[in-house]
A and B are shown apart, each in its own frame.
Chain A
Amino acid sequence: MAKTHVTMKVNGAEVEGLVEPRTLLVHFIRENLQLTGTHIGCETTHCGACTVDIDGMSVKSCTVFAVQADGSDIITIEGMANADGTPSALQEGFRMMHGLQCGFCTPGMIVRAHRLLKENPSPSEPEIRMGISGNICRCTGYQNIVKAIQYASAKINGVEFQEAAE
């Protein structure tokens, strides 16, 4: 099958490549661009480990073709840190609140939570749980992931994070 030339912006850098139409975006990101932070979990659009941000939308990159992302602006987990390289509020939250155990779901969780907080900087706990309902974690039971996002929300809003009483 003839290959197609695609260009896109990934984490602020212009990138290009030759892809078959059937090449999934997640494979282009991991194999062509060597950005292996985006994980392949279920490959069936359920687990959210492959979530990337495309033009301001959280998208499961195992379910779009690289040719469809031609010309788009993408952020992956590698683009989540602050400009000076320090961890973002979300990354810090996942560390401080123990929002990960094995870490496999974490890139998708952070990229998804990034868009959630852009759209709603002060989500309630139910809004957080609904907001990450397309991401599956098999370790944490989600509690500490929710706390990590609450931590980031507080930091973004310049208020002190207070853990809810359990």
Chain B
Amino acid sequence: MIPGSFSYHRPASVADAVKLLTDLGEDARPLAGGHSLVPMMKLRLATPAHLIDLHGIANLKGIRRDGTNLVIGAMTTQHDLLASDEIARSAPILHETALLIADPQVRYRGTIGGNVANGDPGNDMPALMMTLGASYRLEGPSGARDVPAADFYQGAYFTALEPGEILTSVSFPAPVAGHGYAYEKLKRKVGDYATAAAAVVLTMAGGKVASCVIGLTNVHETPLLATDAANAVIGTSLDPATLKKAAAAASAIMSPAADARGPVEYRKHVGGIMVTRALQRAVAIAK
């Protein structure tokens, strides 16, 4: 399987990349890790005339602290996330999630920017970024802007990215010390997208849930925040009745596609189970 012909560009700066994308228009695609785009090109489901490879832009890679925020460059790979002490210490749920993406070889190439910007409902990072309250830095021909992850996803493969714009970094407030977290993903095999997955970040006070955010992966055409489910557990000690209520509230907003991963009812059912497991594990970790 060989992709169609294209011209290859390797700009050295974001400004050059934006200019190329703007000048070349719809026929140009940015290339990050390429492990979603290249397989689609081999199947001729994507036929860009120009690829703008972002690997030549040095300052798109790296993890840094900015006050209480963590800022991650778009070209930082899943492998970089797994190797980062800062991530392991400050946002271990990101470590846990990165480890559930694809396989070791793909994680050496796959980037956080590509994962969140592609708009693929199967990708794991978007729901996690919404759970963490992340925002995305988008740079384009008319300058830079920050868009909350929660406002970024408009439909499957449709995002807030405007023509000529590149997602250059993600940032989110580091979760408070002692928080509980879990990313529970049901998948058929290593490398598969989620049949359903749930991210939970919560805090406890006096044996009760003080705050809670729940994100859902691959149970809708966009990632979801399960707000009703999260509200249902706040103020409780996560007794069985509350867990059941939260799972039902989360399932109620799911509208997964029926595909090889199962029929709609099954995916909603296991989606509720992922929420239950993630809540239970997060509470056990929280201090």
Contact = CB atoms under 8 A, between A and B. Distances in A.
A57 B39 contact: no
A23 B102 CA distance: 24
Interface stretch (B5-13, B126-134, B204-212, B234-242): B5-13
A134 B103 contact: yes
A119 to B, nearest CB: 9
A165 B204 CA distance: 44
Contact of A133 (B34, B51, B104): B104
A131 B103 CA distance: 8
A20 interface: yes
Interface stretch (A45-53, A82-90, A92-100): A45-53
A23 B1 CA distance: 10
A51 to B, nearest CB: 6
Contacts of B38: 45, 63-65
B270 interface: no
B102 A134 contact: yes
Contact of B35 (A21, A45, A132): A45
A24 interface: yes
A57 B104 CA distance: 9
A15 to B, nearest CB: 19
B105 interface: yes
Contacts of B267: none
A76 B62 CA distance: 28
B260 interface: no
Contacts of B178: none
Given A21-B8, A45-B106, A68-B55, A134 B191 contact: yes
A100 to B, nearest CB: 19
A134 B8 contact: no
Nearest to A111: B105
Nearest to B38: A63
Contacts, number: 75
B5 A20 contact: yes
A133 B190 contact: yes
Given A51-B105, A63-B109, A64-B38, A134 B190 contact: yes
A58 B35 contact: no
Contacts of A57: 79, 108-109
B105 A58 contact: yes
Given A58-B105, A133-B104, A133-B190, 19 more contacts: A1-B5, A1-B7, A20-B5, A21-B5, A22-B3, A22-B6, A23-B2, A44-B1, A44-B42, A45-B38, A45-B39, A48-B105, A57-B79, A57-B109, A63-B39, A67-B8, A131-B104, A134-B105, A134-B106
16 contacts: A1-B7, A20-B5, A21-B7, A21-B51, A44-B42, A45-B38, A45-B39, A46-B191, A51-B105, A58-B105, A60-B106, A63-B109, A65-B34, A68-B34, A112-B105, A134-B102
